[in-house]
Every structure is written in C-alpha cells, then in structure tokens.
Structure 1
Amino acid sequence: MTVTVFQNVRVIDPETGNDEVGSLTIEGGVITAHGAAAPKGAVVVDGGGLCLAPGIVDWGVKIGEPGERHRESFRSAGLAAAAGGVTTIIARPDTTPAIDTPETLEFVTRRAAEASPVRIRHMAALTKGRQGREMTEIGFLLDAGAIAFTDVFHVATETKALSRALTYARSLGALVIGHSQEPGLSAGAATTSGKFASLRGLPGVSPMAERMGLERDLALAEMTGVRYHADQITTARSLPALARAKEQGLDVTAGVSIHHLTLNEFDVGDYRTFFKLTPPLRSEDDRLAMVQAVADGLIDVIGSFHTPADEESKRLPFEEAASGAVGLETLLPAALRLYHAGALDLAGLFKALALNPANRLGLPQGRLSVGAPADLVLFDPDAPFVLDRFRLRSKSKNTPFDGARLEGKVLGTWVSGNCVFEAN
C-alpha cells in the first residue's frame, strides 16, 4: 500500500484553527499522521511552503443529469470540481425530472459514481415534483442514500402540507433545507428593490421578503423540531431571526453563496445577465453583514450554488434571462478575496467551506484529523490570474467572474488519497 507524505506545506486545519508549516502522511485513502518523517519507499510531495487543506464540501450544486445534460454532466461537473479543490459535491434535486423517487435517486447515484472523479452525494426533493403539496417517500429516499431534503427555489405556499412534511422528516432524523423567500413578494423579481433597480427599470424584491420567509420557516422548525438549514441568507435583516433561533437551541444552521459574499447589486451594471442570481445580489451593506456573519459563525456554510445555464438562456433581456452562475471552479479563488481582505483567516474560511458542511451533513470529510478521508487540496493563495470563462471545465460558462482579477490557484486535488487534478 502506497504511503504519500506531504512535506513543507502550510497545513490549514479548520478543526483546530491551526495554520502552520508541517507535514501530513496518508495511506490507504486516509490521513495517518501529522509531522512524521517519510518512511522508506514513500511518495514525497514537496509543497514548497504552499497551503494544504481539506477538500471543499460544496453544498448546493446543480448538475444537469437527468434532463439537462447539455448544461452540465456528472463528468464535466466532477472535472470542474477537482480543478477547484472541491472533493465532495452535494447535488441539488432540481433536475428534470426532479429527484423525488428512490428509483431516480439510485439512477443519479450510479451515474455519478461512474462518471465523476470526485465524490457526489445527492439531496432529494421534500415534496413530489417540488410542488409543495405532497411529501416524497422520505424514509425510502433516506434508505436509497439521500443526504438531505429540499425543494430548492420552489417555496411552499401550503404551510399545512409543509408542516406535515417537516414533522415526518423530524421523526426520521432527516435534514431539511429551505430557501428563505416570501414567494408572493419575490415572484418575477430580477433584482433587489431600491434606487438602483428603479433607475434600471428592473422589477425588484424587498430584502424583507427573505426575512419573512425565514421567520416562517424558523417558526415551523420550532413547532416541528425538524433539523433545518437555510440555504442562502443574504440580507442583514434576516440575521437577528437566525441569531434568536440559535440562541433558543433550535437545530438550525444557515449558508450563503460565494457570490453574495463577494459581489453586490451594482455589479449588475448595464444589465449584465451573468450577475442575475437567485436571490438577487444585495446592497454593499448587506454583503458586508454577510461576511461578518460568517466570521462570527452565525452563518455556517459558504457554497458556490453552482447553477449552469447555456448561452441561449443568458443572452436575453435581463428580466427574461435565466438566473444563476457556475461556481465549482471559482469558489476557492473568489473565497480567497475574503482572506486577502482580512475578513477571515484560512482556517476560518475552510471551516465554512469544508468542516461545517461536512459536520452538518454527517460526513467524515472536511477535516485533517488522523483517520479522516484523505480528501485534500494543495493551493497557492497568492497566485494571481485573470479568469477566462472559456477555460472553465464546466459545460456552461456563465460566471460573473469572467475577466476578473483573482488570487489563488489550485495546484493539486486528492480524493481518498488519489490525485484527481494536477495543475500544468
């Protein structure tokens, strides 16, 4: 059995908070030692003083199989993830058809295992067709490998049906993910309401719609006792409700997309559709509040919310264009903007990118402790580059960072100790 030793690396450990030069030994797909000398016959990787961290666990990735393989396949998503230091993808169920039956879940699980060089785990729909009316077979889906349950951006309007689904999920210990928006207010919105939206003549949604949706979901979580995760918190007005829920001891966590941490509503500029997202980009004050909430631990998870869209669906008037952006390959360099700005240290950043999502989902990844899976990323946090979207490995190229100056290059990615990406 091959022993691999990473020497002369900055070991970024989100569990202990350490960031110091050392070594790491892996064997048989797991981490076996820290700081040990390389045994005879070991493969030695000299990191040159660069950073070695646990592979990213990216929660909320859309892949186009089944139904939209032309936008993203398991193969292309896996290659993009490996190049971005993502070793575990948590895939969304908003496919065509939705992943709402054990048979569909088993199909995508098998396809992912065959095609992707990185790990892929699947969430399943909470309700049939993601329509918010009739719950799915949660128990059977758990048995088939569903890691969590969500209707993604389809916010249930039938609260009684939703409460029944949450109660049943609670009885099975299932994790439910909600999208915090008041559906009536947010319907048809293309941007956040305010002076900028008015000047551009775009239909907007008030930031209060997020708070209203979150307050409802948190009340249901309190009533049912379900394990609940808010997928994207993007406005400062939502934070007090989230803080109260945590202080009350509710089993609640929250995430935020990397785009809402690094971009704001003015980036839309003159109707740039690559910046049309769900939820829409917010004010600079909201962005700064989200960054602080991650630093404080109030928001637990940072994700790419990778949403591939083809050119035809983006090259439309802003109101009509598809929402979403790809992010598997840009998540780490974009997140390193927070590190370079002094908002987060590297250990804190990887806590939100890797450790917290793994812990919340009950996965052994996201850490560097002895016995943990050898899912690793070696990167240079200071390497500058200008992003060219046509060099992305995703089938779709809809990134808001096209032409942006970024810092941070992935040099190598390992899954179970096997190198799945090596930079040229």
Structure 2
Amino acid sequence: MNTLIKNGRIVSHDNELTTVDIWIKEGKIHAIGEAFNAETFEQVIDVKGQLITPGLVDVHVHFREPGFTYKETIETGSQAAARGGFTTVCAMPNLNPVPDTVERFEEVQKIIDRDAVVKVLQYAPMTENLHSETLVDYDGLTQAGAFAFTNDGVGVQTAGTMYLAMKAAAKNNRSIVAHTEDESLLFDGVMHLGKRSEELGLPGIMSATESSQIARDLLLAEETGVHYHVCHVSSKESVRIIREAKQAGINVTCEVCPHHLVLMDEDIPEDNGYWKMNPPLRASDDQKALIEGLLDGTIDCIATDHAPHSHEEKNQSFVDSPFGIVGSEYAFQMIYTHFVKTGVFTLEQVVDWMAIKPAEIFGLNAGRLTIGGPADLAIFDLETEYVVDDQQFLSKSINTPFVGWKLYGDTTVTLVDGKIAWQKKGGK
C-alpha cells in the first residue's frame, strides 16, 4: 500500500521544525518531501502540523508473558507501547518459565510473532532461572534470536558469575544489560534511604546498593571487552563512576527512566505501594545528577522500565507491594512536558535519547527516518493538553503515581512498517 503522511513536522539538527510529507511504500519510507500528489495514494493521513518522529525505541519493558498474564501480556504490553509512540521495545526475561533454554525462548518468540503490534525484541537471561550461578547456553540463545542478555530484576551477586557471563556474551557479540543491586546491602529496604524514609518509618535502600555493583562490573567489562549497559541508573554515585569509566575507554552505556528524572523521594506523599519502584526515587541531588548526566552524554538514553502489577498487589504498603510502575503510554509526554516545554532539554535531544541513541547502542534497524528504512513512525500533538487517565490505558495494569497529571504531546498515530499500530480516536 502507498501511504502519504501529510503536513507533518520533523525536528532538524538545529532544533527547528520543518514541514514535510512522508511517502510510505511497501512498509518502508520511500521519500520525504513536500510535493506529492495526495490523490495518487491509497491512504492519506493528514497530521495537520503535528510532530513526526522516528518510532520511539524502549530498551526496557516487562510484558509478563508467560507466567503473569494477569498483569500484562505481549499483546497488551505492545499495544501500550504503540499508544506511547514506541515501535521497537525490548522485553525482559523475568517470566515463568524464564526463557533460559532455546526451547523456552522460542516459545516466547512464537507469542511475540503472533500477538505483538510493535517490534518486540526478547532478552535472554544471563543465568538459569535468573537467581542461579549457572550460565545459560549463550551460543544457542544467540542463534535463537536473543539480542542481549540480562537478569533484570535481580543483580548478579558474584563477580565470578558476572565475569563468565561477560566473556560468553562478548564471544557472541552480544551485550550484557545489568540490573545492579548488591543484595547484601539491601537490609530489607523498600525506598531510598533518607529523610523521607525516616519520616514514613520505612527501611531505606542505600545508593551504594546500586553503585557498588556498577563499579565492580565496570572493571569486569574492561577486562572482558564486553559492551556493558546499565539499567535504570538512579544515583549521583552511579553517574559519577560511569562518567569516569567512559573517560577511561570502557565500553559502557546506560539508561535513565522518566520517573527518576521527574520525581524525588520527597514527592512521595504517603506509604502507598504505587510509589514503590526499583531503583527507588532518590534525593534531589541524585535527580540533578541524572539530568546533568543526560546533558553531558554520560547517560545515553531514556527507557521506561514499564513494570505492570495488579491493583491488588500495588494498593498496599511499601513493605508488602512489589516494585515497579507502568510507563509506556506517557513517557515521551512526561519528558516533553517537564523538560522541553521548560527549556531544560531540546526536542532534538529527546528524540535522540528516546529513538536514535537506543537503536544505535544495540545496533537496531530503528530510530531514524531514512529513505529505504522501515516506516516506523510516531506522531504527537504538542499543542493540546491532556490528562493521564488510567481508564484509557491499553496496558492491563494501572500502577503509576502519574494518574491525573496534565501533559502535552499525546500520541495520535503510531505506524509500524507503514501499518497503523495505534491511532487516537477521532483521527483520520
């Protein structure tokens, strides 16, 4: 099908918005210009001056299938991603069963192929059942389609296991993607250790729980030469040591989540599990360091860590509820509203951090508007305010403290390989 995206605006390298039409043919971008005859196209989508970006790329989501489909499925999770403007997402392996064998991995891939409305890349675990010290079959899982290896949700507790995992990943030209958490430093903590945890009477989590394991892993990454990517960086200490590692030439990249950029521990109003996430919301100086880390290139990209849980699980105290919030459906909007409209970030930077850079980090054919490339596009209304409404979520879960927030940049259309994956009601 020939499709014309008409009267859109794209952000240029000087952060200016340029009006363009995009001609999509056979699922690819055929041409970008202004002089196309709309009458010759089978489908015309007039976006009336709204922003067109490359489809966003999220390297950190949890889709919960198999094993926890009451929280999310690959179908609903991918729909939520499309609703947020994401066209490529990378799904974590903390499932049941864990896809730690070729056979189990292929079973998950079958569900992806059948049900996903966006491009879903499946991580493989680093060790059997995530919690063990026994490595998975890195050769076999790479051949089965694992694009990277991670034990996200669980920190690898022994240096020897991490070293061997890095060697196996490097041998297969794959990345190690690390949830860094030294469990010996947790002390049953449920939120950031600070003034607010004391006020709420809740056990705190030290920043060193995260940063000490990053420090260990950086030296192992230098030893093995593997590409080492750090999940959801949250503390100023973590930013500092990653910055130093990059200066030393270690092959490290990292991500930050919107909620850690927008919120601090002092924003937590009460002992309510909807505010519980891992890593936790940290202090104001940590938040400042994260913003500075993005701006100076220490932090490479923004990822949601979309982590669905049921209302029954989250609607209780910090101590009893699981970690995690959903984020796919409003991540771009949150960053645009709180940082672009306030002049902290440019729109060009946000597109880079949420589309171009994550694709580059992992060598994905995504994240750019290029002639001959996949027609993966997102279209956003930057002018109209909307309210985050959990009754409108496509995710099966609503666990987020952002319900009721007023944002700009609502997604109006998301296209994957030229086909509409999501379109706002009332759109043409």
Deviation (angstroms), 1:13: 5.5
Q: Which runs of 4+ in 1 moved over 4 A?
A: none
User: What TM-score does the superposition give when structure 2 sets the normalisation length?
Assistant: 0.95
| Partners of 2:126 and 2:135 within 8 A in 1 | yes
> Which residue identity lines up with residue 34 of structure 1 in the other structure?
I
Cα displacement (A) at 1:178:
0.9
Which range moved further: 156-165 or 193-202? 156-165
Q: What's the counterpart of residue 10 of structure 1?
A: 9
**Mapped pair 1:414 → 2:415:** yes
**1:23 aligned onto 2:24:** no
Deviates more, 1:183-192 or 1:146-155: 183-192
* 1:247 aligned residue: 247
**Structure 2: tracts of 5 or more residues without a match:** none
Provide the rounded CA distance (Å) in 1 between the counterparts of 2:12 and 2:277.
32
The residue number in structure 2 matching 1:390 is 391
Matched residue of 2:40: which SS? coil
Matched, 1:182 2:182: yes
CA positional deviation for 1:296 = 2.2
1:191-230 deviation line (CA, Å, top 9, x unaligned):
1111111111111022232221111110110111111100
Tell me which amino acid in the other structure corresponds to 1:5.
L
Partner Cα distance (1:217, 1:302) in 2 = 21
- CA distances 1:384-412 after superposition (whole Å, capped 9, x unpaired): 12222122111111112111122221110
Looking at structure 2, the residues matched to 142 and 37 of structure 1 have their Cα atoms a distance apart, in angstroms, of 45
Contact kept in structure 1, 2:232 and 2:305, CA below 8 Å: no
Q: Is the 8 A contact 2:89 2:120 kept in 1?
A: yes
Question: Is the CA contact (8 Å cut-off) linking 2:156 and 2:180 kept in structure 1?
Answer: no
Q: Residue 52 of structure 1 aligns with which residue?
A: 52
State how far apart, in whole Å, the 2-side matches of 1:218 and 1:289 are: 19
Compute the displacement of 1:36 (Å): 4.5
Q: CA deviation at 1:187?
A: 4.6
> Is the CA contact (8 Å cut-off) linking 1:243 and 1:298 kept in structure 2?
yes
Paired residue for 1:83?
Answer: 83
Alpha carbons of structure 1 residues 17 and 174: separation in structure 2 relative to 1, 3 Å? farther
What are the equivalent positions in structure 2 for 1:22-421 lying under 5 Å apart? Answer: 22-39=20-37, 41-42=40-41, 43-336=43-336, 337-421=338-422
Percentage identity across paired residues of the two chains:
32
Q: Which amino acid aligns with 2:6?
A: Q
CA distance in 2, matches of 1:133, 1:315: 34
* 8 Å contact from structure 1 (residues 132, 161) kept in 2: no
Q: Is this contact kept in 2: 1:190–1:202, CA < 8 A?
A: yes
Q: Which moved more, 1:322-331 or 1:174-183?
A: 174-183
- For 1:161 and 1:21, locate their aligned partners in 2 and report how far apart those are by CA, in whole Å: 52
Determine the C-alpha separation between the residues in 2 that align with 1:82 and 1:224: 37
- SS at 2:348 equivalent: helix
- Once the two structures are TM-superposed, the CA of residue 267 in structure 1 deviates from its matched residue by 2.4
Number of aligned pairs?
A: 422
Q: How far is 1:334 from its partner?
A: 1.3
Looking at structure 2, the residues matched to 206 and 158 of structure 1 have their Cα atoms a distance apart, in angstroms, of 19
Determine the C-alpha separation between the residues in 2 that align with 1:250 and 1:24: 40
- The answer to whether the 8 Å contact 2:272/2:315 transfers is no
Instruction: Indicate if the aligned counterparts of 1:19 and 1:347 stay in contact, CA closer than 8 A.
Output: no
| Residues 24, 33 of structure 1: 8 Å contact kept | yes
Matched residue SS, 2:316: coil
Compute the displacement of 1:124 (Å): 0.5
- Counterparts of 2:12 and 2:67, CA distance in 1: 39
Offset of 1:18 from its aligned partner? Answer: 5.8
CA RMSD of aligned residues (A): 1.6
Alpha-carbon distance between aligned partners in 2 of 1:327 and 1:362, rounded to the nearest angstrom: 24
Q: Which moved more, 1:214-223 or 1:5-14?
A: 5-14
Q: What is the one-letter code of the residue matched to 1:59?
A: V
**Distance 1:414-1:13 versus aligned 2 partners, 3 A rule:** farther
Contact 1:11–1:23 (CA under 8 A) maintained in structure 2: no
Q: Could you tell me whether the CA contact under 8 Å between 1:87 and 1:413 is conserved in 2?
A: yes
- SS of equivalent to 2:117: coil
Say whether the 8 Å CA contact 1:304–1:327 is kept in structure 2: yes
Could you tell me which runs of 5 or more consecutive residues in structure 1 were left unpaired when the two chains were aligned: none
Query: What do the CA deviations read for 1:364-389 (whole angstroms, capped 9, x no partner)?
Result: 11001212211001111232122221
Pick which of 411-420 and 180-189 moved more. 180-189
Q: TM-score, normalised by structure 1?
A: 0.96
Deviation at 1:12, TM superposition (A): 3.0
Are the aligned partners of 1:57 and 1:357 in contact in 2 as well (CA < 8 Å)?
yes
Q: CA deviation at 1:23?
A: 2.4
